Amino acid sequence: MLAQLRVPLAFLVRDFRIEASYKTGFAARVLGPVLNIVIYYFIARVFGGLAPNLQAYGGNYFAFVVIGVAFSDYLALGISAIGNSIRDGQVTGTLELMFLSPTRMTIVLFSSSLWSYLFATLSVLTYLVLGTGLGMRLDQANVPFALLSLAIAIISFNALGLFAASLVILFKRGNPLGWAIRVSSVVLGGVFYPVHVLPGWLNQLAQLLPLTHALELLRRSLLLGEGLAQLGGELLALIGLTAVLLPLGLLACHLAIRVAQTDGSLSHY
Amino acid sequence: MQPAIETHALTKRFRKLNTYRDLLLYPWRRADHLAVDNVSLRIEPGELFGILGQNGAGKTTLIKMLCTALRPSSGDATVAGHDLVREARRVRALIGLVSGEERSFYWRLTGRQNLEFFAALYHVPPGIARQRIDELLRRIELRDHADQPFRAYSSGMRQKLAIARGLLSQPQVLFMDEPTRSLDPISAQVVRRFVAEYIIGELGRTVILATHSMAEAEELCDRLALVRSGRVVAQGSVDQLRHALHYGGRCELRLRHMPPELPDALRRMRGILSLDVTRSDGLHLLELSLSEEGPVLAAVLREAVECGAEIYGCQTRQVSLEEIYLHTLGTPPTAVEAGVC
């Protein structure tokens, strides 16, 4: 078991060392959530008490938007982290060597995004701690269920990221798929407003996005303390989407690598 | 004994990239470029096998196929008995790659940190990895710089680190693609000594070396393949190549007096592959390439004496690999060459 963890750990150590060597960028990334949360706090104060559409989430816009923004970072990461890591590997020339090692392709791909997730988790914790300090209440939170939901959500986001990574392997630069998923998820996934305010057909479309179900699960479990009894349907929908997207994403990556190994472009950038 | 590497008619075609103009005017047109053409090799365990050829001859493509980085278009190959395509992961566990490419390390990590990362990818346990990294860095004379960032390394140090990385997993077969390409003569000599004494001498690994350097190939390789336009036009040891290509040796004949008919008489003789005549310090210099040294040289001297030449001196030497290379690869392909191997 320990031996299986060595590769992901090696990726984490590598990425921490590289990240820490860019001191200014490191500090800027740490400060980002702090600035964001201040902005959302004042926006929420402007619209405070005018949020009847948020009754299902406790009625507090600040809490609603903090959770939406904090956890949608995971989606942005899921879509881009693997692709960015592959792009870095293409530019630094290390990608081909990683795929030439006996480590499985899937382990290389997922391990390469671990650091980004660790950093995002720190960012989410910053959002939650600062948000709590500014009045967000998490005292009813069903933490185990929220963590379970988050774990499945991350897998589903990574599955979307595998499609985007396939395009990076094939076309190197330009990733319209990643952009399209990210934008549609922010617009339709309920980051800044609840999905039920969307017109009917857009609401239907939103149900096809993992982010929609992930945010519903996280908000209601963290803000209202709901669990499997109330959210079983949402959880099942997220698991279903993940079960479809993950194998397809892995297949897309596998085929993209095969094409790159056939045309010799694995080390190109 | 099972060969370290065996290939049968291994071939790689690349699709040529279309320009925007071609994409617009002829969207369905596809053109191929043949990079490796029907290569059949058998390389024994513990052998140091060289692949020589000009730029673009297909050396790197051949090595990349054997490393599983590229899928062959046709033909098959095994590494230590494992099929290159069907058992790619098993093959990867048995091989190491040393590329002349500097762009394959993390520039913001130190040399040691880079090696630690790649050791984990090759499933080398941390304790063993630490010992092995120390040993390799010491052997390759890089230990004093191990904790400097890779970006501060000179070209020679980067190349040495690439060799250390290639050996981290103690591979059965090590592929080295122009490992001394950007090195000064002293660093190149350190690398050659390391390959000969440590990798071959002590570890007994099989090494496949693609190189431009004739001196390197002649000094290190047990056998080699000369590659042109993706085809192996000759293979064997340097002696076997001399013999197969009928290169017995070179002879420099110095004459005080040379009868005018002598050069043509010599050119007509069997076993004379080429003859150049020059004058220097009042002497006539005849440089001859001979198919075999003994009998042909005797016939040359006899002919010179019978023609009335006054011989001042005669020096013979073996044909160098560079001369074989230039003769074999420096001219357009011929049917004779194709039949050599």
Contact A215, A157 (CB under 8 A): no
Out of A3, A10, A266, name the one closest to residue B121 (CB). Answer: A10
* Nearest residue in B to A91, CA atom: B103
CA distance A15 to A20: 8
CA dist B197 to A73, B131, B144, B203, B210, Å? 54, 20, 21, 9, 19
Q: Say what the pLDDT of residue B333 is.
A: 47
Cβ atoms A178, A164 nearer than 8 A: yes
Q: How far is CA B125 from the centre of its chain?
A: 34
Provide the token pair at B147: 């904790």
In this prediction, residue A23 carries a pLDDT of 73
| ipTM of the complex in this document | 0.77
Q: Determine which of A96, A109, A171 to mutate to test the interface with B (most B C-beta atoms within 10 Å).
A: A96
Per-residue pLDDT at B334: 47
CA atoms within 13 A on the CB side of A55: 2
Is the model's pLDDT at A50 over the cut of 60? no
Measure the CA–CA gap between B190 and B182, rounded to whole angstroms: 13
Angle at B5 (CA atoms; ends B118, B46), nearest 5 degrees: 80
At B172, is the secondary structure helix, strand, or coil? coil
Three-class SS of B69-100: CCCCCEEEEEECCEECCCCHHHHHHHEEEEEC
Report phi then psi at B225, rounded to 5. -120, 130
* A68 alpha carbon, distance to own chain's centre: 11
Segment A17-44, tens digit of pLDDT:
988 888 777 777 777 778 888 888 888 8
3-state secondary structure of B183: coil
What gap in Å lies between CA A212 and CA A230, rounded to an integer?
16
How many pairs of residues across A and B have Cβ atoms under 8 Å apart? 86
Rounded to an integer, what is the distance from CA B220 to the centroid of its chain?
A: 10
A3–B104 CB contact, under 8 Å: no
Domain boundaries, chain A: 2-263
Contact criterion met (CB < 8 Å) for A264 and B70: yes
> What are φ and ψ of residue B314, in 5° steps?
-145, 130
What is the model's pLDDT at position A96? Answer: 84
By CA distance, what is A261's nearest residue in B? B70
Record the tokens describing residue B186, joined without a space.
């002293």
Q: What is the CA radius of gyration of chain B?
A: 25
Tell me: the pLDDT tens digits for A192-237? 888 878 887 888 888 888 889 988 898 889 888 888 888 889 999 9
**What average pLDDT is seen over chain A?**
84
Contact B69 A261 (CB under 8 A): yes
CB-based contact B89 A104, cutoff 8 Å: yes
Other CB atoms within 10 A of residue A139 CB: 7
Mutation for B interface: A4, A11, A13, A14, most B CBs within 10 A: A14
A143-161 per-position pLDDT tens digit: 899 999 999 998 998 888 8
Please list the ranges in chain B whose pLDDT falls under 70. Answer: 17-18, 246, 331-341
Token couple for B189: 């000599």
* Share above pLDDT 90 across residues of chain A, in percent, rounded to a whole number: 15
CA distance A123 to B261: 92
Nearest Cβ partner for A14 among B109, B122, B126:
B109
Answer yes or no: are the C-beta atoms of B240 and B321 closer than 8 Å.
no
Of B61, B64, B122, the CB nearest to A101: B122
Q: How far is CA B213 from CA B51, B158, B224, B232, in A?
A: 10, 19, 12, 18
Structural domains in chain B plus CATH codes: 5-242 (3.40.50.300), 248-318 (3.30.70.260)
Among partner residues A7, A100, A104, which is closest to B67 by beta-carbon distance?
A100
Contact list, B32 vs chain A (CB under 8 Å): none
Question: Do A57 and A191 touch, CB atoms closer than 8 A?
Answer: no
| Beta-carbon contacts of residue A48 (< 8 Å; ≥ 6 apart) | A61, A62
Give me the pLDDT at residue B137, please. 94
Q: Minimal Cα–Cα distance from A3 to chain B, Å?
A: 8
d(C-alpha A75, C-alpha A117), whole Å: 10
For residue B58, give the nearest of B42, B37, B76 by alpha carbon.
Answer: B37
Quote the CA–CA distance of B299 and A237 in Å, as a whole number: 93
A24 CB near a chain B CB, below 8 Å?
Answer: no
DSSP secondary structure code for residue B202 in this structure: I
Integer Cα distance of B206 and B176 in angstroms: 11
Say what the pLDDT of residue B17 is.
66
Q: What is the pLDDT of residue A2?
A: 64
Q: Give, for B233, the enclosing helix (H) or strand (E).
A: strand B231-236
230-269 of A, contacting B, C-beta below 8 A: 258, 261-264, 266-267
Instruction: Give CA A25 to chain center in angstroms.
Output: 20
Contacts of B90 in chain A (CB under 8 A): 102
Degrees, nearest 5: CA angle B240-B244-B247: 90
